[in-house]
Amino acid sequence: MSEPERVKEDEKAGTAGREASAARVIGVLGAGTMGAGIAQLACRSGARTLLYDPIPEALERGLQRARQGLQREVERGRLSAEEAQAGAARLQAVDDLAAFAPCELVIEAVPERLELKHALYEQLSEIVSESCVLATNTSSLLVTAIAAGASRPGRVVGMHFFNPAPVMRLLEVVAGEQSEQDALAIAHATGEAMGKTVIRAGDGPGFLVNRCNRPFGLEALRLLQERIADIETIDRVCRMEGGFRMGPFELMDLVGVDTGFEIAKSFFAQSFGEPRWRPSPITARYVAAGLHGRKSGRGYYTYAPAGEGGAAGHRAEDPEPAGAAEPGLGEGVVVIAGGGRLADELRDAAGAAGYEVRSPHDPTGGVFPALIIDCDRQPPTAGSAAGSAAQRADRRAQGPALPQGGAHLVLCAAGSLQSLDPGGSAVGFHALTPLSQGSLVELTRSETSSPVAAGRAERFFKALGKHVAWVGDAPGLVLGRIVCQLINESAFALGEGVGGARDIDLGMVLGLSHPHGPFAWADTIGLDHVLAVLEALCEEYREERYRPAPVLRRLVQAGRLGVETGAGFFDYED
């Protein structure tokens, strides 16, 4: 079976067994913040809902929290007063697990301790019927491991709600090794009755969404470790160029640096040392120093105490988009070489800004271009300067020659600036499509880069309405590295059958508020561009961490490069 056919078959398999009725009697085990939120969703969906916690005070707090949540939904216009009242009437606190006997579904939301969950599942197995589904809300333990405590492990599934459960639109339904299809279907239907967009995931570290998001923080930490950019610049690039709501360091501070470090260690241990998931020594140092993020007042940023500006005061606001350029800023000739969507978007944007745009084929007429932008540069394969010069001469002989005499700007996708222009005067840049959605472009320079090229590059992107950020040299620079690794991790998950392409994209957008799903973004960028960045990183660092996923490589080999070719991870109509 070909790779495109296999991806489609996985999508079909992910929808199998979803025809089922939602549970009409739901037990919620654990009345903490998550349990109370799940109980609110369950009673609102029309199910009789039983809430249990072994600590009476916690049970009472959870009951009140769920009822208050219903009232807040009324205040926000999401429920009528009558609907909230009916939901509250369906919610009942119970003081004994035996009260769960009539439940069709029990959702467990207790602390993440395997021995505790095993004891509870053993008890529940003696109380509920053989058809009852036992669902765990775990986010860090394997569903398969939890199911070992039940007498009927086939009835155990994962229902991973995202916090806060009543607000977040996503639910992951996770299949353990022995989970039965009808049990998964009941969980799926119940999640939809609760108003959630439900995606399917296979069992494994982080399931689907948290796994695919691993590179967002880990690659940012690696960039910081290599001094490619500082914390503020990395976060600003992700927000302004990538469209992320928060930068990775802001997010790590919000989650808790110590919490993130424990998760990272768990991923690495459960994978038996997967290089892509290696924890960062930077995080280890921060945790040792007690710098745990917002909750400790200091993490990657310093936070003002409550009442003195709060956490929002940790960074300066991003500058507004540059907007319309000054008249005359875009005057002159620019030559843009190379194919692909980014080169096409640069041509369109430069023309709209007032530049006269030419290709390497066009005669110069004796006019030297202000800037020559090379979007097609490939790294030399020989190690010596002579070999590099010979290869550049070969490329000039085989393709259109770039004009001489202008300042050069090189796209750093297939390599770092140093590898693409060794000893040369060019400046490097990187940007991702769609170019129009970002308000910032990254630039880099080497020790031999021309100040004239740097100035003209800044002027060019200013004319296009973009801010610039100067960063260190590396394939993909900052955002390209992070996004290509997000795509790569998602492609590994797809190839391993952890989830389907559409479920992965939905999960990343709805569960984590990413600006695009990784596969839709890859199809827009061009899978060949993504693969070029990953191969360049793999070549430069010689680390397994950057090896491209087989699915990605096979799609490129099959000519499925994304939107431009009409097919990539997804198919596109003409």
**177 is annotated as an active-site residue:** no
Cα distance between residue 439 and residue 260, in whole Å: 30
The 3-class secondary structure across 417-458, one letter per residue, is HHHHCCCCCCEEEECCCCHHHCCEEEEEECCCCCHHHHHHHH
Quote the Cα angle for 277-475-505, to 5°.
55
Q: Are 335 and 369 in contact (CB under 8 A)?
A: yes
Q: Are 406 and 495 in contact (CB under 8 A)?
A: no
HSE-CB of 326 using CA atoms within 13 angstroms: 4
Tell me the sheet residues that pair with 571: 567
Q: With 0-12 CB in 10 A as exposed, 13-18 as middle and 19+ as buried, what is 393?
A: exposed
3-state secondary structure 471-512: CCCCCCCCHHHHHHHHHHHHHHHHHCCCCCHHHHHHHHHHHH
- Strands 440-445, 133-136: pairing is unpaired
Q: Which two tokens stand for residue 532?
A: 């070029």
3-state secondary structure of 236: helix
- Neighbouring residues of 69: CB distance < 8 A, sequence distance ≥ 6: 36, 37, 40, 166
Q: What is d(CA 132, CA 109) in angstroms, rounded to the nearest whole number? A: 17
Map residue 361 onto helix, strand or coil.
coil
214 phi and psi, to 5 degrees? -50, -45
What lies within 8 Å, CB to CB, of 186 at 6+ separation is: 20, 21, 22, 23, 104, 105, 133
3-state SS class at 99 = helix
**Closest Cα to residue 237, out of 426, 414, 458, 483?**
483
Which is catalytic among the residues 172, 241, 442, 489?
172
Q: How far apart are CA 91 and CA 42, in angstroms?
A: 8
23: tokens are: 């549970």
Which residues are catalytically annotated?
172
